[in-house]
Amino acid sequence: MFRAVHWAARKGLRETLAPDGDVKRQARETGVRGETYAYWYLRRLGYVFIARNYMPRGGKGEIDLIGYDGNTLAFVEVRTRTIRKEQTALPELSVTEEKRRTVLRTARRFLAATRRQDTAIRFDVLAIDNRPGESPRVRLHKDALSPEA
């Protein structure tokens, strides 16, 4: 599966420019493709996933990927951007303080719901640069979101 996703990305089968009315749909599709790519990328690195797109019951927030990296439970926020020549913004810079708080709150609810409070945890950010005609560039920032602050 990873090879198919990687091949599609290299062949430019990502997205085309959408009319202004389709911007949200296009952003959602980019996010879904990025999360799928991230899932397979991290599986190749040895992550074992137990949840994707986790949303607590009756709560606000979502965590893209939750899985074990060795004995550590990693909560992974995936950020994907299609970067054109005139753009230089990195996707990982789009993780705001509000998003950090939401991820931490959602992770606490996940740990309580699954009775994993004694597990070693970490918060990672995986950034994907989609550049038309090129393979995606991936950066994994382990322990990127601090529970303190």
For the entire predicted model, the pTM comes to: 0.78
Q: How far is CA 115 from CA 34, 50, 101, 147, in A?
A: 29, 14, 21, 19
Q: Where are the domains of the chain?
A: 2-141
> pLDDT-based confidence at 146, cuts 50/70/90?
confident
* pLDDT tens digits for range 53-85: 999 988 789 999 999 999 999 999 999 887 776
Specify the CATH class of 2-141 in words.
alpha beta
Is there a contact between 85 and 39 (Cβ–Cβ < 8 Å)?
no
